[in-house]
């Protein structure tokens, strides 16, 4: 990928379409789903699918970083648009600016106590699940029959981790 050096004068005048080919993708969910389905249909081998999945993982990381890098400017633009009564783009994409409050409940003693109980209960539940997974035959515990769990569903997934 050719990148424009920071000191290059073209950096300030480059068009967004030149910097981000994703700008040409459809802006509605059904068209995106159709595009993805069509594209997937062209991949014939499992190796091609695997390579594409790795590329998608890289793209997700790229888009996450890009989103963080441009969010403040885009938010400022959206707020200006909203102030002018505009709530959709020329292409029909709707947007809204939301304020999200972050609450700090740590000053409340009851909340701290409940949070502690919740954390303790979650840890106890996790430990119990691990115990039950290892149980092979039924046992008696405090006069109650404890049965080993059954596997209700098995699925495979693929975790992809990119190098730092």
Is the residue at 54 inside a domain?
yes
Is the residue at 130 inside a domain?
no
Instruction: Give the mean model confidence (pLDDT) for residues 18-41.
Output: 84
User: Is 137 within 8 Å of 149 (Cβ atoms)?
Assistant: no
User: Is 73 within 8 Å of 79 (Cβ atoms)?
Assistant: no
Is the residue at 145 inside a domain?
no
Is the residue at 110 inside a domain?
no
From CA 50, how far away is CA 160, in angstroms rounded? 10
Q: pLDDT tens-digit profile of 69-123?
A: 999 999 999 999 988 888 988 888 899 998 899 999 999 999 999 999 999 999 9
Burial of 57 (C-beta count, 10 Å sphere; 0-12/13-18/19+) = middle
- Number of separate domains in the chain: 1
Is the residue at 118 inside a domain?
no
Task: Return the pLDDT at 64.
Answer: 95
Q: pLDDT tens-digit profile of 2-17?
A: 555 555 554 555 565 5
User: Is 30 within 8 Å of 36 (Cβ atoms)?
Assistant: no
Task: Show the domain range for 28.
Answer: 16-83
Q: Integer distance in angstroms from the first to the last C-alpha of the chain?
A: 19
Is the residue at 23 inside a domain?
yes
18: which 2 tokens?
Answer: 């030149």
Is the residue at 162 inside a domain?
no
54 membership: H or E segment, kind and range: helix 46-83
Q: How far is the CA of 159 from the CAs of 36, 69, 98, 156, in angstroms?
A: 20, 26, 33, 10
pTM: 0.65
Map residue 20 onto helix, strand or coil: coil
Task: Return the pLDDT at 161.
Answer: 92
* Residues forming a β-bridge with 30: none
Is the residue at 106 inside a domain?
no
Q: pLDDT tens-digit profile of 114-143?
A: 999 999 999 999 999 999 999 999 999 999
């Amino acid at each position: 990928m050719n990148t424009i050096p920071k000191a290059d004068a073209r950096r300030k005048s480059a068009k967004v379409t030149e910097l981000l080919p994703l700008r040409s993708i459809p802006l509605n969910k059904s068209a995106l789903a159709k595009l993805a389905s069509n594209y997937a249909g062209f991949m014939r081998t499992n190796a091609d699918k695997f390579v594409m999945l790795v590329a998608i993982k890289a793209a997700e990381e790229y888009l996450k970083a890009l989103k963080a890098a441009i969010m403040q400017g885009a938010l400022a633009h959206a707020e200006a648009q909203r102030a002018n009564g505009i709530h959709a783009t020329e292409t029909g994409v709707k947007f809204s600016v939301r304020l999200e409050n972050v609450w700090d409940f740590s000053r409340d003693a009851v909340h701290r106590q409940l949070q502690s109980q919740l954390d303790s209960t979650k840890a106890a539940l996790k430990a119990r699940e691990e115990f039950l997974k290892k149980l092979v035959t039924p046992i008696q515990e405090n006069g109650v029959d404890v049965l080993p769990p059954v596997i209700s569903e098995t699925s495979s997934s693929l975790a992809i981790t990119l190098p730092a």
